[in-house]
Amino acid sequence: MRVAFVTVGDTSRLTGGYLYHARVFAGLREVGIDVETFVASGASPVEQAALAPHFGFRLNPRDFDMLLVDALAWIVCAPWLDRWRALRPVVAMIHELPSVAASTGRNRRLEEPLLRADRLIAVSAHGRSVLRSRGVPTGRISVVSPGCDHLSALDAGAEAAVSDDVATRVLCVAQWISRKGILDLVRAWAAHERPGATLELVGETNAGTVYGASVHAAIANVGGASIAVSGPVDDATLGAAYAAADLFALPSRYEGYGIVYAEALAYGLPIIGCDVGPVPELVGREAALLVTPGDVGALSEALNLLLDNSAQRSRMSAAARQQALRLPRWQDTVTAFRRVLEEVLTLSHRPS
């Protein structure tokens, strides 16, 4: 089987979506499925719109058995999707619909061709419900969630490092973009004295220039060295950060899935997050404290509660590891993804 995958942006970035693609496509290639990636343009709407009239000429659907289109490429692919579908089956990869992730209805019409794909792969039950609310029949939606063993915490049997020591480590892994709530987390951290505690921020700090500057300014106003900015790190360093942490905090206002929450669960970390989207289902109620998005006061109190109570952290840590055992492994993800592609190809009646 030959598959053309169309995406946008820098595929080497350490984000959940790009990680998902890399892991799944590596697994597909191991079983003989040839996946060729086409990076249509930069990720921004302006860059996509500029190349949308021309991109389709770079890709001949007849050279492939099917086309797999990343929802991130919604604008650059919009003029071509229906034409491609006339020749080959099209599968849409929906980590999140752009209009939902951005909390705006702008340009929703450009998503409509994507929603007409032969099959849409969502990464969570929440994602499936979003697609159904947009009129996509249930029979055209498949849910293939990410694995949680990327850093081998479960396979290695790693135990969470819950301690009675005064020093506690809070880990946050995310890009510095507004919907991740990093500024809220810094403000919540600064609302109280945190003697002996450290907040470590791992992830891209320059994804949103203006927002990143606001986060840096807020950190500069926090006394002492209680916030450490690590930036993007490799897998070994990230695994070590999870293993050394006492709890995980990410008050994201929206997630398509939230791979970092799953990784935190695999390391037995209690979680502080927001009660939105797929997060409650993913993390479970016993392993997490979930607050309303944007409620800095509630977020600060959740930090107080877990930083001051090692016994509760220990109980939540045990619940986190149990929750992680219920989640798929990456091999499960690859197998489920391959079955979807094979089913779509079997049901297709396009001429060769």
Please give the C-alpha separations between residue 254 and each of 95, 268, 272, 298, in angstroms, as whole numbers: 12, 23, 14, 17
**Quick check: 182 and 216 in contact, CB under 8 A?**
no
What pLDDT is recorded for position 164? 46
Classified as helix, coil or strand, 141 is strand
- What is the set of domains in the chain, with CATH numbers? 2-147+329-347 (3.40.50.2000), 168-325 (3.40.50.2000)
Q: Is 53 helix (H, G, I), strand (E, B) or coil?
A: helix
**What is the C-alpha to C-alpha distance for residues 307 and 170, in angstroms, rounded to an integer?**
9
Instruction: Output the pLDDT for position 158.
Output: 47
**Contact yes or no for 272/303 (Cβ under 8 A):** yes
Q: Which residue(s) pair with 23 in the sheet?
A: none
> What is the pLDDT, as a whole number, of residue 156?
45
Q: Are 40 and 11 in contact (CB under 8 A)?
A: no
- Would you state the pLDDT for residue 336? 97
- SS3 label, residue 276: coil
Predicted local distance difference test score (pLDDT) of residue 104: 56
pLDDT tens digits, the chain, 352 residues: what are they? 999 999 999 888 878 888 999 999 999 999 999 999 999 999 999 999 999 999 999 999 999 999 999 999 999 999 999 999 999 999 999 998 888 876 555 568 889 999 999 999 999 999 999 999 999 999 999 999 999 876 766 654 444 444 444 579 999 999 999 999 999 999 999 999 888 899 999 999 987 678 999 999 999 888 666 999 999 999 899 999 999 999 999 999 999 999 999 999 999 999 999 999 999 999 998 999 999 999 999 999 999 999 999 999 999 999 999 999 999 999 999 999 999 999 999 988 665 5
Q: Give pLDDT, residue 108.
A: 81
Q: What is the pLDDT of residue 209?
A: 79
pLDDT at residue 348 in the model: 81
C-alpha 321 chain-centroid distance = 20
- Pair 75, 52: CB distance under 8 Å: yes
Give the separation between CA 123 and CA 19, rounded to whole angstroms. Answer: 13
The pLDDT, as a whole number, for residue 103 is 59
Q: In this predicted model, what pLDDT tens digit does every residue of 182-226 receive, in sequence order?
A: 999 999 999 998 888 999 999 999 876 789 999 999 998 886 669
Residues 40-54 pLDDT 10s: 999 999 999 999 999
The reported pLDDT for the residue numbered 12 is 84
Q: What Å distances lie between residue 168 and 63, 161, 228, 231, 308, CA to CA? A: 55, 10, 13, 20, 9
Q: Rounded to 5 degrees, what angle do the CA atoms 260, 277, 79 make?
A: 95
Q: What are the CA-CA distances from residue 328 to residues 142, 202, 323, 337, 346 (Å)?
A: 15, 24, 11, 12, 25
The pLDDT value given to residue 110: 86
Q: Identify the residue whose tokens are 């499936």.
A: 128
- Taking the C-alpha atoms of residue 175 and residue 235, their distance in angstroms, rounded to an integer, is 16
